[in-house]
Amino acid sequence: MSDFFPNETILVVDDEPANIKTLAAALGDRYRILAATSGAQALDIVFDRFWELDLILMDVQMPGLSGYDVNARVRSYTKTADIPIIFITSRTDPGEEAMGLDMGAVDYIGKPFHPVTVRARVKTQIELKKHKEYLDDMVAVRTQELLQAREDIVMRLAKAAETRDNETGMHIIRLSKLCEMLARASGMKRTLAHTLATASLLHDVGKIGIPDNILLKPGKHTDEERAIMKTHTTLGGEILAGGDNDLLIMARRIALTHHERWDGTGYPNGLKGDEIPCEGRITSVCDVFDALTSERPYKRAWSMEEAAAFLRENSGSMFEPQLVDLFLENVDQVQTIISVNREEPDPALQPC
């Protein structure tokens, strides 16, 4: 008894059982064979078991749904679109073959066929599919590595800006998670919400350009100093200008607009309502709430209830009302994010 168990699965589709039997005999010692005697039956198998299909061998002329019809249905769904299809048919004129290939078939075998030819052509397509899957996996891994590297660089730059402002770095982590939560609650797609979360890390990157005597001043700022502090928004915009990818473009919009106010009294440009990009409006709500509930050298940490009351009182003036409502509707998630990502105690202040 052979110990060989085929790993690849081929669906053979033909309304003539004799043809299926011949193809199964030619290929069955190397591949696992599934069979369908109509286009409708073939589609049932494809959509039910697409994850295990490596190739479809299909007749073109069949009652009901033709091979071309089945091919079109298979190609129209994302999960099945990449399954290679070889047409086997007696209609072998060049125009017919060109039409089949244009429809997405990977090969065209004429009837009557020789088993050796079928085996060779099938083997080629199976190997090509495996190679494509290997390359796709390599690209996916590399893409993930590049995305991770990009996020690491953003995080390091963001921490550099925060540490100049007596921050621990946990503020930007909490802010990022709060922004992603609120973005998802507002209906933003997961991928875009994650980009926003990463971009929000750079909301205060412009503080790198604020002089220490102003940025770190423990007391109240003068009007002139306050005006200089406000320039961290435009400085951030300048630092992030010229980016040609979605992350840097969004980060720049956030840096420039997270201090704009819904009623138009914010800075730097006095934008009002929908003039403020949605990512800036989202970051504004989350940034203020986290700042209020965090302890600073110059203030105590507000309670969740006090901070929530502040959002309500300023809904429609500082903040977009709908975002305030969504934020407070998800207060349990907010509490979890803030508590899990709380400030780490300073080891230098711990008892020996």
Q: What is the pLDDT of residues 181-197, one digit of tens each?
A: 999 999 999 999 999 99
Beta bridge partners of residue 122, listed in sequence order: none
Q: Does 2 have pLDDT greater than 50?
A: no
Q: What pLDDT was estimated at residue 15? A: 93
Number of C-alpha atoms within 13 angstroms, CB side, residue 258?
A: 31
- Which runs of consecutive H residues, i.e. helices, occur in the chain? 17-27, 39-49, 67-75, 94-102, 115-163, 170-185, 190-200, 212-215, 223-230, 232-239, 246-257, 278-292, 304-313, 321-329, 331-340
Determine the Cα–Cα distance for residues 50 and 65; give it in Å rounded to an integer: 19
Residues 6 or more apart whose CB falls under 8 angstroms from that of 252 comprise 236, 237, 240, 241, 243
Residues 6 or more apart whose CB falls under 8 angstroms from that of 296 comprise 166
Does 268 sit behind a cis peptide bond, omega within 30 degrees of 0 on the bond before it?
yes
pTM over 0.85: no
Q: Does 349 have pLDDT greater than 70?
A: no
Whether 237 and 206 have beta carbons less than 8 Å apart is answered as yes
Determine the Cα–Cα distance for residues 89 and 86; give it in Å rounded to an integer: 10
Q: Stretch 341-350: mean pLDDT, rounded?
A: 50
Q: Alpha-carbon torsion 126, 128, 129, 135, what sign?
A: positive
CA proximity to 173, closest of 142, 206, 200 = 200
Q: Does 334 have pLDDT greater than 90?
A: yes
Kind and range of the H or E element at 13? strand 9-13
CA proximity to 198, closest of 267, 148, 141 = 148
What's the pLDDT band for 59 if we cut at 50, 70, 90? very high
Number of C-alpha atoms within 13 angstroms, CB side, residue 54?
A: 21
Q: Which residue has the higher pLDDT, 245 or 148?
A: 245
Determine the Cα–Cα distance for residues 285 and 98; give it in Å rounded to an integer: 58
Number of C-alpha atoms within 13 angstroms, CB side, residue 329?
A: 11
Using a pLDDT cut of 70, give the percent of the chain over it. 92
Whether 256 and 234 have beta carbons less than 8 Å apart is answered as yes
Map 62-127 to HEC letters: CCCCCHHHHHHHHHCCCCCCCCCEEEEECCCCHHHHHHHHHCCCCEEEECCCCHHHHHHHHHHHHH
Spell out the domains of the chain, with CATH numbers in brackets: 9-136 (3.40.50.2300), 164-344 (1.10.3210.10)
Q: Which residue has the higher pLDDT, 245 or 308?
A: 308
- List, for residues 133-166, the tens digit of each pLDDT value: 888 888 878 877 777 777 777 777 777 677 665 5
CA proximity to 34, closest of 79, 93, 83 = 83
Determine the Cα–Cα distance for residues 348 and 192; give it in Å rounded to an integer: 40
* Angle in degrees, CA 12, 13, 16, rounded to 5: 110
Determine the Cα–Cα distance for residues 235 and 224; give it in Å rounded to an integer: 17
Q: What pLDDT was estimated at residue 345? A: 42
Q: Which residue has the higher pLDDT, 171 or 162?
A: 171
Determine the Cα–Cα distance for residues 190 and 214; give it in Å rounded to an integer: 39
Q: Stretch 82-90: mean pLDDT, rounded?
A: 90
What's the pLDDT band for 350 if we cut at 50, 70, 90? very low
The string of DSSP letters for 39-59 reads: HHHHHHHHHHHGGG--EEEEE
Determine the Cα–Cα distance for residues 74 and 50; give it in Å rounded to an integer: 10
Beta bridge partners of residue 315, listed in sequence order: 319
Whether 50 and 73 have beta carbons less than 8 Å apart is answered as no
Q: Does 113 have pLDDT greater than 60?
A: yes
